[in-house]
Structures are given as structure tokens and as C-alpha cells.
Amino acid sequence: METEIAANKAIIRRLFDEALNQRHLELLDELFSADFVDHSTPQQRPGPEGVKDFFVEVHLHFPDIKVTIEDMIAEGNRVVVRTLWHSTARNAVGTSHDEARSSSASAQDSKPFIADSLSEASASAALAAWNSKPLNGSLIQIFHLENGRIVEEWNEGSGLGEA
């Protein structure tokens, strides 16, 4: 049993250290079962493909994301971690004024983008300041593993910028 617990903890460490932080998304096929379910994100596709989609989205919006495991507790086939997520803000589409404006307009039913009243230089400076704002979040995640693969997950906590 101790060997299984140690192996399960190693899988979760690899998930955060290698797959998420180092962006080795190919590992997700090895770490997750084909029928993996994230119970906290019902809209996510099942299996490793849904996790890949999520990681790609995280890296798109938070290119400097760093997740650290602060606590890890394991019992039987469950591993619980408390993780801290650190990044800097980035607008939803890119860093240019036009891209941010386009994203804002579609997301807010064509309400004016805040930078519309600014010159292009001022808008770029405002976006650069926003894009460098530090963001932090904390999650407690429960992973259920079977046969060396993650089959289920539940999580509670705050997203980046909500903590």
C-alpha cells in the first residue's frame, strides 16, 4: 500500500511540475485515464484531451504560470494537494490594443473598450501595466487514481486574481 501511495504522489507531482509548469502536454496521455472526469468542470471533455484543452487555455492566457504544491496528503487511491497558482495578467486575446478591443467588444455586446478614449500609446501603456499585474490563486484538489492513472478530480478554491 505504501508503494502505491508513493507512486500516486509521484504522478501528481509530475502533473504539476512537468505537464503544467514545463508544458510537457504529451505526458497527459500517460497520467490520465481515457475516461477521466473533472467533476468540478462539467463542461470539460473527458479524458486527457479535455485536460490538454484546459492546459493550452491556461498557457494562452497566463504564459508565465507557475503552480507550486504547498501540501500533499495521500490515503489509498486518493491524493489531495493544496496548490498555489502564480502568474501575471494577460488580456483574453493578446497584448495589442486592437486585439484587446476586439475581445472586449464581442464579450460586452459592443460596449466601448476602456482604452477607446486613450491614444494608441496610452492604450498600449495601460495594457502593459495591466498585463504585468501579479495574480495569485489557491486550490485544494482531490485526485482519484487507479492503475497508475488519474481517473477523477474535484477541486475547490479561487482562480487567478480571486484569492
d(CA 99, CA 79): 41
Q: Taking each helix axis from N to C terminus, what angle separates 97-107 and 120-131, rounded to the nearest 10 degrees?
A: 80
Q: What is the mean pLDDT of residues 78-101?
A: 67
**In terms of Cα–Cα distance, which of 4, 36, 31 is closest to 17?**
31
Q: What is the pLDDT of residue 30?
A: 98
**Domain extent listing, the chain:** 2-89+133-158, 94-129
Bridge partners (DSSP) of residue 85 are 67, 137
Q: What is the pLDDT of residue 121?
A: 58
Decide if pLDDT at 81 tops 80.
Answer: yes
CATH number 1.10.8.60 is the correct assignment for the domain at 2-89+133-158: no
Q: Which amino acid is at 67?
A: V
d(CA 131, CA 52): 24
Q: How confident is the model at residue 14 (pLDDT cuts 50, 70, 90)?
A: very high
Higher confidence at residue 51 or residue 106?
A: 51
pTM of the model: 0.74
pLDDT (tens digit per residue) in 103-161: 333 333 333 333 344 455 555 555 555 566 788 899 999 999 999 999 999 999 877 76
